[in-house]
Structure 1
Amino acid sequence: MPDILTVTLNPCVDLATGISALEPGLKLRCSDPAFDPGGGGINVSRAIKLLGGRSAALVAIGGNNGARLLELLTQEGIATVGFQGPGETRQSLSVTSEADGGQYRFVLPGPSWSENDLRRALDTIDQATGRETLVVLSGSQPPGVAKNFPAILSGHVQDRRARLVVDTSGPALANLVEDPHESLHVLRMDAEEAEGLAGRALPSRADTAAFARSLVDRGIARYVLVSRGPDGSVLATSDGCWHAVSPRVKVVSAVGAGDSFVGGFTYALSRNDAPPECLRLAVATAASAVTTEATRLCDPDMVRDMMPQIDVTEI
């Protein structure tokens, strides 16, 4: 059984290209496209691989796009557990304008799921999960998957004495924090999501830390991470709260930055690093990811060089 298993129910084939300028009504001549495997859990696995770690990516696949996705994963050396999903695996498109450097991201919804599709996914996850496996659920849920899927998955993970890492949003996130789930090891969200759950503004790092710690105290998760955008990220555990911010970098593409953060944090957890060091690696991995083009994710040499520059302070 893998130490880390990432779950991607709504994967995609990411296509990235560039144009001289974005103008309506014209034929826009694009540069040669780059194709990458995409989707939250897949990007987490790719980041872990770049950092020198190993994981298995559990992926729903369908149609010609699904076959292409498996081919791209094989080319990158990502161990894959594929299972038949409904319909055709989706595509996404990111276009960068040379005129102003703006990036435009077009994301398709993906095929709709039935109860049988979900049951097949859970059966596959059960078979691939062992004791102490870090199961990472990251990315959007497909149409038709109920908002309580992370909570359902938590029960399956708990039955196998594994640990669940969740990076989700919207109704699925709100449902997850309503009741404690014993196997939920890590929960990540951004500042806007945290404020929505808190029902109030969280203007300072201390405010964010207090809210994150309240979720830990309620038993929602053992580790709660909140991204504050340019102001770094906050980590709360039962032993304390920490904040870290990366050095200033030139942002080329934001695609995959959040997934890279989760990949760095999960990889550090799998090595039994202390919580502040897990946060440090996560911040460095995400900061490196935004400096690369399209969906290339992090540069391991840059991550290594950046680590000593990141101050992790206790709140």
Structure 2
Amino acid sequence: MPSIVTLTVNPTIDDTSEAELVRPVHKIRTHRGRIDPGGGGVNVARVVHRLGGDVEAIVCLGGVTGALLDELLEREGVKRSVVSISGATRMAHVVFETATGQEYRFVPEGPTLSEEEQNACFKRVEETECDYFVASGSLAPGVSEDFYPRIAEMVTKKGAKFVLDTSGLHLSRTLARNNVLLAKPSLGELGSIVGQDLHGPKAAAVAAREYVQHDGVGMLAVTLGRHGALLVTPEETHFCRPPEVKTRSASGAGDSFLAAMVLAISQGKAPEDALRLATASGAATALTPGTALCYPEDVEGLYEEIATQRIWPADAQKGGRRRSVA
């Protein structure tokens, strides 16, 4: 059985290109076009596979675009378990404006999933055996608010560890079930969870630590954008600042971060090492266009540049290998 399984209910094909300048009404000529498979769990599976992990992606696919996405994953060598749906898989469009360095993202909401199709997802999850199960990404229209909580319950009853990366009610309701090993909220999402307006790493660290210690989630990996990231467990809090890189696209950086962290945890690495590898993978993804995602050689190079700091307990140490997080 695969060590890691991911679930993507609302995947995308990411169509990425460049234009000198994006202007309303005008016909915009684009170049350097590429297409990549996308969506939270899909990207997590792609990166785990590239970094040498054993992974399978459960993915809902439909229509001609669904067939194309399946083919793209086949080309990358990612194992899939396809749940067929009647609607066509969405296609997102990303345009990088060379004159300004800005990126424009146009993302459809995706096809509506019927109750029958949602039940097919549940059935596929029930049939799945793995050590770590990652549910990542937005949910398709029509999906019930208890979808991720039900998935978490199914997975943990089978003995697997459940990892979640989503937002809004789907995040807060699933965390409330107390069966999540790891969640990856942004600073804003963490603020919504704890009901506070958080500013900066210090406030995030305190809020995340209190939440982990009292509300049942195993760990929180809090992403802080250019300021870095935190990994918070009941026993310790680690901080990591990303290396300076020439950003080509931030698309998929958070998914790459999560993929590397789950892989490191599954390999029994210490929390600071998991955070270090995750940060390197997110930064390496920023070097690539569209959702090309990170490459192992870039991850390895950036990993050597990165140091982590234990900011709680107070006797903070940099680097250091101490114990496994799972």
Q: TM-score range by the shorter chain?
A: over 0.9
Distance apart, 1:215 and its partner CA: 2.2
Aligned to 1:135: 133
SS of 2:152 mapped into structure 1: helix
After superposition, the C-alpha distances for 1:22-46 in whole angstroms (9 at most, x for unaligned) are 1111111111421111110000011
> Given the alignment of the two structures, is residue 205 of structure 1 paired with residue 238 of structure 2, yes or no?
no
* Count of aligned pairs: 311
Give the alignment of 1:45-64 within 5 angstroms.
45-64=45-64
CA separation in 1, counterparts of 2:86 and 2:178?
29
Which of the numbers 289, 292, 299 marks the counterpart of 1:293? 289
2:253 touches 2:293 (CA, 8 Å); kept in 1? yes
1:233 touches 1:243 (CA, 8 Å); kept in 2? yes
- Percent of aligned positions that are identical: 34
SS of 1:292 mapped into structure 2: coil
SS of 2:181 mapped into structure 1: strand
CA separation in 1, counterparts of 2:266 and 2:166?
21
Distance apart, 1:180 and its partner CA: 3.7
| Distance change (3 Å), C-alpha of 1:276 and 1:73 | same
Distance apart, 1:247 and its partner CA: 1.3
1:154 touches 1:181 (CA, 8 Å); kept in 2? no
CA separation in 1, counterparts of 2:86 and 2:108?
15
| Distance change (3 Å), C-alpha of 1:6 and 1:197 | same
CA separation in 1, counterparts of 2:302 and 2:32?
31
CA separation in 1, counterparts of 2:262 and 2:101?
32
CA separation in 2, counterparts of 1:155 and 1:176?
9
Q: Which runs of 5+ in 2 are unaligned?
A: 312-326
Give the alignment of 1:101-120 within 5 angstroms.
101-120=101-120
Q: Which amino acid aligns with 1:42?
A: V
Aligned to 1:145: 143
After superposition, the C-alpha distances for 1:62-84 in whole angstroms (9 at most, x for unaligned) are 01111101100000110111111
Distance apart, 1:52 and its partner CA: 2.0
RMSD (Å) for aligned C-alpha atoms: 1.3
Query: Which sits farther off after the overlay, 185-194 or 25-34?
Result: 25-34
After superposition, the C-alpha distances for 1:192-211 in whole angstroms (9 at most, x for unaligned) are 11122222232342321221
Aligned to 2:256: 260
2:16 touches 2:94 (CA, 8 Å); kept in 1? yes
2:194 touches 2:211 (CA, 8 Å); kept in 1? no
SS of 1:166 mapped into structure 2: strand
CA separation in 2, counterparts of 1:86 and 1:39?
18
2:41 touches 2:136 (CA, 8 Å); kept in 1? yes
2:239 touches 2:310 (CA, 8 Å); kept in 1? yes
> Given the alignment of the two structures, is residue 181 of structure 1 paired with residue 181 of structure 2, yes or no?
no
Which of the numbers 159, 166, 187 marks the counterpart of 2:157? 159
Aligned to 1:76: 76
2:97 touches 2:103 (CA, 8 Å); kept in 1? yes
Aligned to 1:15: 15
SS of 1:189 mapped into structure 2: coil
Distance apart, 1:15 and its partner CA: 0.6
CA separation in 2, counterparts of 1:23 and 1:292?
25
Q: Which amino acid aligns with 2:166?
A: T
Aligned to 2:168: 170
Aligned to 1:35: 35
| Distance change (3 Å), C-alpha of 1:84 and 1:117 | same
Aligned to 1:305: 301
SS of 2:294 mapped into structure 1: coil
SS of 1:221 mapped into structure 2: coil
TM-score by length of 2: 0.92
Aligned to 1:276: 272
Aligned to 1:93: 93
SS of 2:272 mapped into structure 1: helix
Q: Which amino acid aligns with 2:156?
A: Q
1:20 touches 1:99 (CA, 8 Å); kept in 2? yes
Q: Which amino acid aligns with 1:59?
A: V
SS of 1:211 mapped into structure 2: helix
